[in-house]
Structure 1
Amino acid sequence: MHDLLAYCESCEDWPASAAYAARLAAAFDGHVTGIHACPVPSLMSSPYDTPDLMADLLNVTRQLEEDAVASGPSFEAFARACGATRVAWQVAEEEVPRALNLAGSWHDALVVGRTLQTPWGSASAVGGMVLGAGLPCIVVPEGHVGESLPDGMAIAWNGSLEAIRATHAVLPLLRRARRVTILDGGQPLSASLDDWKPPFGLAGYLARHGIHSETMFLSKPGDSVGTLLLHAAKQAGADMLVMGAYGHTRFSEWVLGGATRDVLERIDMPVFMRH
């Protein structure tokens, strides 16, 4: 957790997720980079038919990019006020998913906000970022003001590769938590692990890393999976939920699986996700 990337949809009002990222970077004596995307309009949209329109679009985009670059000192001051000492600001001339995927290549985790008022804060948009970023993601609910280092953590466990990857990626936070609870849903292993014998033992894996854990067995949900997981995490005294992120198919980075969609729609605590 020494290099965190914080997505900022706006350059005027810094989101709760950016503050969360800055505080987490401070806790690990790490670095936080704020990133904003300003995609350039495509010249493939009949520029010969509407040259004036394209010129206007490019001028507007250029001004937005200049304004975003000028917001760098404001972000740096904001992050330092949250405790971070190593801060950077980046403006990308790319669509949001690709910008995060590229910048994520040299970061340990992406921190994004789940909001109700902004296009890139919706459950589907955030889910697309999580599935396409290529690195662990921390999704922070709108208005979150709690500590960035969780005191209690709950791991949604179903034996899948995604859940294993999420647990491995979140080890630095698990080591600092005072209580770790495995939320065992009892689901069968994913097809990709059917031939792996014996099954991966999560409690034993955590113990080898010096992390004591307790297990809470979950019954089949009568309501949504997301409601069940978030409720169980609260019952366990957790202030962060850890889970794998799933898409309906390997070839789709935008169509969310049921558990991922449910949690993002009902999120009320930070959620650490790994695809």
Structure 2
Amino acid sequence: MRDILVHLSRFTTWTGGAEYAARIAAALDASLTGAYVYPSPLYMMPPYGSPALLSVMIENAQAMEHGALQARQAFADWARERGVQRTAWQVAEGYLPDTLGQICNWHDLLVVERDDEMLWGTPQTLATLLLQVGTPCLVVPSVVAPGTGPDCVALAWNGAPEAVRAIHAAIPLLRLARRVVLLCGDRRDVYTGAGYKPPFSIAEHLERHGIGIERQNLDTADERAGHALLDAVAACGADLLVMGAYGRSRFSEWAFGGATRHVLAHAQVPVLMRH
């Protein structure tokens, strides 16, 4: 992870998500890009709006863009105080998931803040983003515990391809941790059209990367999986959860499985997800 992107919903102050992104970037000696995206006036224009109203909206968007562009140095100074040596600043206009998806093509990790009073207030909006960007995504609560990096990381494991991709993406962060706890749920049967023996071993895979794990089993009904997962995260003292974003339908922009929706709505620790 050499290039980390953090979405910023404001360009005057930076809160929990930005703080956590800076913490991770400093720990990994990575570059940190701050991205401020504002909506196009054409998207916000009422169907029967007047030309005068459109003119005002365009002027407001231009003023917003100008103010955001002026924040480049302030962001760089703020990040440097937190140990980040290399920064970039990106201002863009457009529909947020699509625009961030384009910017993500140049980055290894996207960090977004989950705040009930802001854009990512619902699991559905977060799910839209997770499905539209190919980059691993770290969803951070607005308030996170202080620290220099992940100390204990919990891995949600059920054998699904999404879980494999999420854990593989998290390896740089796992190397920073003192403890890595594998939370093993029921293995998900996935038809791939091919069989192989012996079965893939996540423990051996991580060991090849120099990462040892503790293993805990999760025995719970599907409808309680999200609750059980967060209870296990709290019980082992994890300060980061890694899990695949499990979808019931790949053609839906929000219909994730119940465990994913529950975690997106209620996790009190940062969650790294990948679909």
Fold match by TM threshold 0.5: yes
Contact kept, 8 Å, 1:114 with 1:123, in 2: the verdict is no
> Superposed, which structure 2 residues align to 1:40-79 within 5 Å?
40-42=40-42, 50-79=50-79
Distance 1:139 1:148 in 2: 17
Q: Does 1:24 align with 2:19?
A: no
Moved >4 Å (runs of 4+): 43-49
TM-score (norm 2): 0.92
Residues 10-52 of structure 1: per-residue CA shift (max 9 Å, x gap): 1223121111111211111110000010222228968897222
Contact kept, 8 Å, 2:154 with 2:242, in 1: the verdict is yes
1:56: Cα distance to partner? 1.5
Contact kept, 8 Å, 1:153 with 1:179, in 2: the verdict is yes
Aligned to 2:101: 101
1:3: Cα distance to partner? 0.5
Distance 2:32 2:177 in 1: 21
Structure 1 counterpart SS, 2:42 = coil
Aligned to 1:33: 33
Aligned to 1:190: 190
Structure 2 counterpart SS, 1:273 = strand
Aligned to 1:201: 201
Distance 2:222 2:91 in 1: 45
Change (3 A) 1:116 1:45: closer
Q: Which stretch has the larger CA shift, 265-274 or 42-51? A: 42-51
Change (3 A) 1:148 1:221: farther
TM-score (norm 1): 0.92
Structure 2 counterpart SS, 1:106 = coil
Q: Which stretch has the larger CA shift, 100-109 or 136-145? A: 136-145
Residues 211-233 of structure 1: per-residue CA shift (max 9 Å, x gap): 11121011114863222111112
> Superposed, which structure 2 residues align to 1:207-222 within 5 Å?
207-221=207-221
Change (3 A) 1:3 1:160: same
For 1:91, the aligned partner's letter is V
RMSD: 2.2
Q: Which ranges in structure 2 are unaligned for 5 or more consecutive residues?
A: none
For 1:119, the aligned partner's letter is L
Q: Which stretch has the larger CA shift, 38-47 or 244-253? A: 38-47
For 2:201, the aligned partner's letter is G
Change (3 A) 1:43 1:154: closer
Aligned to 1:125: 125
Contact kept, 8 Å, 1:224 with 1:262, in 2: the verdict is no
Contact kept, 8 Å, 2:227 with 2:259, in 1: the verdict is no
1:162: Cα distance to partner? 0.2
Contact kept, 8 Å, 2:152 with 2:180, in 1: the verdict is yes
Structure 2 counterpart SS, 1:224 = helix
Structure 2 counterpart SS, 1:68 = helix
Aligned to 1:273: 273
For 1:115, the aligned partner's letter is D
Change (3 A) 1:37 1:220: same
Distance 2:49 2:75 in 1: 40
How many corresponding residue pairs?
A: 275
Distance 1:112 1:46 in 2: 29
Q: Does 1:151 align with 2:154?
A: no
